[in-house]
Structure 1
Amino acid sequence: MKGVRLTGSRHAELAELPIPSLRKGEVLIKVKVSAVCGSERIGYENGCGYGVFWKWPCTKARIEDC
């Protein structure tokens, strides 16, 4: 799968990443469109590790067949 990897201050690259293996109760979601939030700019400008991984609360979502 493709993903963007921050490799340093003001440097990101599109990379081919391995598809993660799933554990019981997990799902893999195919994302067709994505964007960068303004707050994520901090990690881009200051390099890896700062502002890259935010600790937001998560909620469980139910996905039903369409």
Structure 2
Amino acid sequence: MSARALLAHNLRRMRADRGWSQEDLAAACGLDRSFVAHVERAARNISIDNIERLAIAFGVKIADLFSI
């Protein structure tokens, strides 16, 4: 599995585990909802800065976003 696909999978799982919508996640990390949707579909490349914002929103380490 590619890093992009693994990140997409983990974002969807973590978001669902918290009962968050894409809008909730976007608000929590300060990103646009459509950008979050693209990242969750592995359709967008994402910067390390935005990966960090997602990790902070979830309260996890960046490495956790890429764990199998």
Q: Which entry has the higher C-alpha Rg, 1 or 2?
A: 1
TM normalised by structure 1 equals 0.22
Q: Which has the higher helix share?
A: 2
Q: TM-score, normalised by structure 2?
A: 0.21
More strand by share: 1
Q: Higher relative contact order by CA 8 Å / sep ≥ 6: 1 or 2?
A: 2
